[in-house]
Structure 1
């Protein structure tokens, strides 16, 4: 449900959105679609957002990644690439939209 709300907010902000219910489903989308930004939770059903992002970056090196997690960035250690943006939960939808917009423009910051 949270993913649906996030996708709807991003679509309302003007972004084209592909939604996935699991890491496996996201991997299929990423294998067939060129995307600018991967917005993912670190803890996913059926997989791990860090693993998903690393595989996606191998296939699409220019991909920007925005992670979300209920735990701090520090808790995830070096699993979260330093160049990836990070949103700590809970976050405001406006903050998510701003971070995705920065990532699209290549100006994301941690």
Structure 2
């Protein structure tokens, strides 16, 4: 058993309901607080309303605002955020992701998701 998950809040942005529910379940099972958005504009509003959000986990293909644009805007407003982007259609290089964000290709396993989330949360400034 690895180290326990830090107490943290994740903003999950995923427009496919089934994937969103599965991912939320995995994150919450690990003891994380999850706030869910289904498009980029909603996600930006939630980021502004919830200063406790530690990590933005967003799909790239979203209605209303592309996940990369969402990530760029989010990092301007909240540079301390940890960032993970995901997509089944695109493969993003490190240069395409703002700041030191990470990319997780779909489909991902619960283990891959949690390993990456844990490593990102462990890098939060103290």
Matches within 5 A, 1:46-61: 46-61=64-79
- Corresponding residue for 1:68? 86
Q: Please state whether the residue corresponding to 1:40 is helix, strand or coil.
A: strand
Stretches of structure 1 that go unaligned for 5 or more consecutive residues are none
| TM-score (normalizing by structure 2) | 0.77
Paired residue for 2:63? 45
* Cα offsets for 1:2-60 (capped at 9, x unmatched): 01110111001111110001111111100111211000011112211111111111111
Q: Measure how far apart 1:78 and its partner are.
A: 3.8
Aligned counterparts of 2:38 and 2:21: Cα–Cα separation in 1: 9
Q: Distance in 2 between matches of 1:82 and 1:57?
A: 7
Q: Distance in 1 between matches of 2:72 and 2:101?
A: 11
Q: Aligned pair 1:18/2:35, yes or no?
A: yes
| TM-score normalised by length of structure 1 | 0.87
Matches of 2:45 and 2:34 in 1, distance apart? 15
Task: Give the unaligned 5+ runs of structure 2.
Answer: 1-17
Task: Give the RMSD, CA atoms, in angstroms.
Answer: 1.6
**Higher fraction of helix:** 1
In the alignment, what sits opposite 1:93?
Answer: 110
How many pairs align? 105
